[in-house]
Amino acid sequence: MDEYNRFVDWDKMDVTAQSQDAKELTCTEFQELKQLARQGYWAKNHSLRAKVYHKLISNIPCRTVTPDANVYRDIVVKIVGKRNSSSLPLPEFVDNSLVPTYCLNAEGIGAVRKIILCIANQFPDISFCPALPSVIALLLHYSKDEAECFEQVCRILACNDPSKRLIDQTFLAFESSCMTFGDLVNKYCQAAHKLMVAVSEDVLEVYSDWQRWLFGELPMVYIARVFDVFLVEGYKVLYRVALALLKFFHKVRAGQPLESESVQQDIRAFVRDIAKSVSPERLLEKAFAIRLFSRKEIQLLQMANEKALQQKGITVKQKRQNVHLAVHAENFKSEIVSVKEMRDIWSWIPERFALCQPLLLFTTLEHGCSLSRFYSHSEGHEPTILLIKTTAKEVCGAYLSTDWSERRRGGNKLSFFGTGECFVFRLQPEVERYEWVIIKHPELATAGSEPENHAPPASSTLSSGSVPPDPSDRLSPFLSARHFNLPSKTASMFMAGSSECIIIGGGDGQALCLDADLNHGRTSHCNTFNNQPLCSESFQISVLEVWGFRD
């Protein structure tokens, strides 16, 4: 340990968890490294972990000119001067982030600030990077000196492999990652998401904390285990662990009153004290048990979220618009749902569209019960929300990801289209949301989703009546059925329309069918919605509304 103990306060470290057994890492194959990282092969040997980190980071493809240890030695005196390193001001791009001590000694704590200032000098393009203090503090444990730590952090920041995302360095990248995390929570942690919506005025603000949970609140031994896998597998690991943290928080704290003024503070406290309830091994086990979308699909969602932010002009830090502003009581009026119910719907939709305000496109009370007028008012808008109130006072609806004009691509033949982001919901008599089962449970498809480390197959499995690949400028490419290796029988089967009816559902049967007069509807309980009734099997429509999204 002597070689790597310069910045470590061993009195604060759990030395009993460290092994002195001499180990070496000889494998170079990705799958074997991945397995060893997840198992914690180098976690209990400080010196071995330092050597593994050095090896993994040195293999990161970087820009031709990347600052190294010699650059640090040249500039540190000029930048820091004779100032006390422990009180050095931090650059704005760390956003007043916590500077974790991670069992560092006084020299190590001061070194974190010195390295941050030198990185700010060498990377003028970094505009927002709140994770940086934590990464530096962690890597100081496994560096011989400040210069070596500086070089390793620079290599992570200078990675130029477009398929290997590591640390967000702009507000646009950071904010879109928060939106992406919110989308993943909505998909994979529905019970926790329901709790967040119930106890928080701004659920988006809660999810914007996800990187802080990892790079700030999580104890040293936990973040080190996460970093072991992160250096091998990349950014997706961070989403996995953050989702696992939220799942554990919900499991431990569900049904209990808040301990602080906000759920945001409660989650931070839970993560800080996670050792009381969850071991590092159990946390990672939970994280990797989540059947998360592939890197390709997550990248598509990230790109869509970035594009939505750019179109809204949100590229630098500013106050987020929350759901209460998007669905404003003074500007919203529906004959079917209340403001609160619309806010519940808004909490379910993809984050990039939650930036927008609802816009009423069609209502049977004003436009009449005509399917052709339904189409003429709805076409050109993507996505849309369909709301139905029955004469029995049942309220249900659907989030429809695709423009209704796509129905024409099948000619006169009724053909299904839409993406896996579509879902249906019920608001009365009680609130329930149902997802497309093929996407939520890909193992139920006869052909599984694409392998995680491979691009989508070049040949499409879609039927001839389905939607061809989206144009490159479409805002919602994520979860299009072509990103799944699904058989043509089930691919792109969510919504369909003709001059005679509208069908929302698919798979083994119809979930919701509306007649051409928009007065009558039918439902059937099929695999698409987990065999749960959406509303009465046959119903009369009292009011039908279609809502779009206004910038």
| Tens of pLDDT, residues 320-364 | 455 445 677 678 899 999 988 888 888 888 888 887 889 999 999
The Cα 228–Cα 239 span in angstroms is 15
pLDDT value at position 428?
A: 84
pLDDT-based confidence at residue 541 (cuts at 50, 70, 90): very high
Q: Which residue type sits at 138?
A: L
Place of tokens 């004009």: 405
pLDDT of 104 strictly over 50: yes
Q: Where are the domains of the chain?
A: 1-17+42-169, 171-319, 323-442+485-550
Phi then psi for residue 424, to 5 deg, are -115, 165
Q: Are 154 and 119 in contact (CB under 8 A)?
A: yes
| pTM, full prediction | 0.77
pLDDT-based confidence at residue 262 (cuts at 50, 70, 90): confident
For residue 360, the 8-state DSSP code is E
pLDDT value at position 530?
A: 47
Torsion angle, alpha carbons of 192, 172, 62, 101, to 10: -60
Question: pLDDT averaged over the chain?
Answer: 82
Looking at per-residue pLDDT, the higher value among 199 and 153 belongs to 153
Q: Are 532 and 432 in contact (CB under 8 A)?
A: yes
Give CA angle at 167 (161, 173), nearest 5°: 95
- Beta bridge partners, 388, equal 396, 544
pLDDT of 529 strictly over 50: no
pLDDT for 171-195, tens place per residue? 999 999 999 999 999 889 989 998 8
pLDDT value at position 81?
A: 86
Looking at per-residue pLDDT, the higher value among 536 and 367 belongs to 367
Looking at per-residue pLDDT, the higher value among 536 and 405 belongs to 405
Q: For the residues 122-138, what does the mean pLDDT come to?
A: 95
Joined together, the tokens standing for residue 546 give: 């279609």
pLDDT of 246 strictly over 80: yes
The class that CATH gives domain 171-319 is mainly alpha
pLDDT for 451-506, tens place per residue? 333 333 222 222 223 333 333 333 333 444 443 334 444 445 688 888 888 888 74
CB burial string 490-525: b at 16+ within 10 A, e below: bbbbbbbbbeebbbbbbbeebbbbbebebeebbbbe
Looking at per-residue pLDDT, the higher value among 460 and 203 belongs to 203
pLDDT for 360-398, tens place per residue? 999 999 999 999 999 999 999 999 999 999 999 999 999
pLDDT of 239 strictly over 80: yes
Query: What is the three-class DSSP state of 83?
Result: coil
